[in-house]
């Protein structure tokens, strides 16, 4: 039975960001993907110049109404990422709620893009919308440490803090939480960063159980754009295939990320030449070249089960 995803994300003509980072790998893994472009830019904003258009909340509503009128709005997943507009975000919530009424099993995967390293890079008025409206209807969220702290009001300085923050996020709504990156010290040294995940399950008798995992992830000395979009898409895919095994879903997801990033950085350094720092065009993700790794990633990272 085919699985259908509605992906509401940014779009770029050149490179892999937003819908282009999500759609290709999901399609490779057998998902049907309908894409709505929240923005349409020439390229991502890490370049010196960019041009394009931004979709308004009203325009999003019109597109969704067109899908509804043709009765082709049956979805199994909704996937969203970066946005800068509160009314657009609120329209997304309205659409998700309507789709969930039609299909109570629909899974909403949200990357709550707010900021990183202590500062926000979206308008501050998006924060209460994410906290009070978006996260409560989400099933899977992929915040970084800063975003997880911001959404819960609790700082993370130890692994115990991170577990408590993930529990607070569960209490807000999502059954699956993955903190994609943190400042916690890695047991493997300063060349690694720590990611943590938590997944709630309801047993047949109605009681709840939670699986928590920790991963040590290789740091890379480069700035990539589109990796968060790829991560959320791969977590969607691998939790679909392993719905009750967060350990395996994370190992598959992080391994895909590792292979794509390593292929990208090798190619970028080759283009840049010895001793030269790769440019944004050279660091565009090597997505098509990583097709085999997306389909069947060699597991190169082990998730340690905490509980």
Q: Please, is 162 exposed, middle or buried when counting C-beta atoms within 10 Å of its C-beta (0-12, 13-18, 19+)?
A: buried
Residue 166 has pLDDT above 80, yes or no: yes
Residue 223 has pLDDT above 90, yes or no: no
Confidence class of residue 190 from pLDDT cuts 50, 70 and 90? very high
| Mean local confidence (pLDDT), 141-158 | 98
The DSSP call for residue 197 is E
Q: What is the structure's pLDDT at 117?
A: 87
CB atoms within 10 A of CB 102: 11
Q: Please, is 104 exposed, middle or buried when counting C-beta atoms within 10 Å of its C-beta (0-12, 13-18, 19+)?
A: exposed
For 49-87, write each residue's pLDDT tens digit: 999 999 999 999 999 999 999 999 999 999 999 998 999
Residue 2 has pLDDT above 90, yes or no: no
Measuring CA to CA, which residue among 225, 187, 174, 201 is closest to residue 302? 187
The span from the CA of 207 to the CA of 97, in Å, is 26
Both tokens of residue 150? 């911001």
Q: What is the structure's pLDDT at 222?
A: 87
pTM, two decimal places = 0.96
Marked catalytic residue, from 76, 111, 139, 229: 229
Say whether 229 is catalytic: yes
Residue 206 has pLDDT above 90, yes or no: no
Give the whole-number percent of the chain exceeding pLDDT 90: 93
């Amino acid at each position: 039975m085919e699985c259908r995803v509605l992906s509401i994300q940014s779009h770029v003509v050149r490179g892999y960001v937003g819908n282009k980072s999500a759609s290709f790998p999901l399609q490779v893994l057998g998902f049907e993907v309908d894409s709505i472009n929240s923005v349409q830019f020439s390229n991502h904003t890490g370049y010196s110049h960019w041009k394009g258009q931004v979709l308004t909340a009203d325009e999003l509503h019109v597109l969704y109404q067109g899908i509804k009128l043709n009765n082709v709005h049956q979805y199994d997943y909704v996937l969203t990422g970066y946005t800068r507009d509160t009314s657009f975000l609120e329209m997304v919530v309205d659409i998700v709620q309507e789709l969930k009424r039609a299909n109570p099993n629909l899974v909403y995967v949200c990357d709550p893009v707010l900021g990183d390293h202590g500062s926000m890079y979206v308008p501050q008025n998006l924060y209460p919308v994410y906290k009070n409206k978006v996260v409560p209807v989400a099933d899977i969220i992929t915040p970084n440490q800063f975003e997880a702290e911001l959404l819960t009001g609790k700082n993370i300085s130890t692994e115990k803090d991170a577990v408590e923050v993930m529990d607070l996020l569960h209490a807000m709504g999502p059954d699956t939480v993955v903190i994609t990156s943190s400042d916690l010290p890695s047991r493997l040294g300063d060349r690694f960063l720590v990611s943590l995940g938590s997944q709630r399950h309801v047993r047949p008798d109605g009681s709840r159980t939670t699986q928590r995992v920790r991963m040590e992830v290789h740091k890379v000395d480069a700035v990539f754009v589109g990796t968060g979009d790829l991560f959320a898409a791969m977590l969607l895919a691998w939790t679909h295939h392993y719905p009750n095994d967060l350990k395996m879903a994370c190992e598959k997801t992080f391994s895909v990320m590792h292979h794509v990033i390593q292929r990208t950085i090798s190619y970028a350094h080759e283009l840049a030449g010895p001793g030269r720092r790769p440019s944004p065009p050279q660091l565009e993700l090597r997505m098509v070249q990583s097709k085999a790794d997306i389909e069947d990633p060699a597991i190169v990272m082990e998730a340690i089960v905490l509980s």
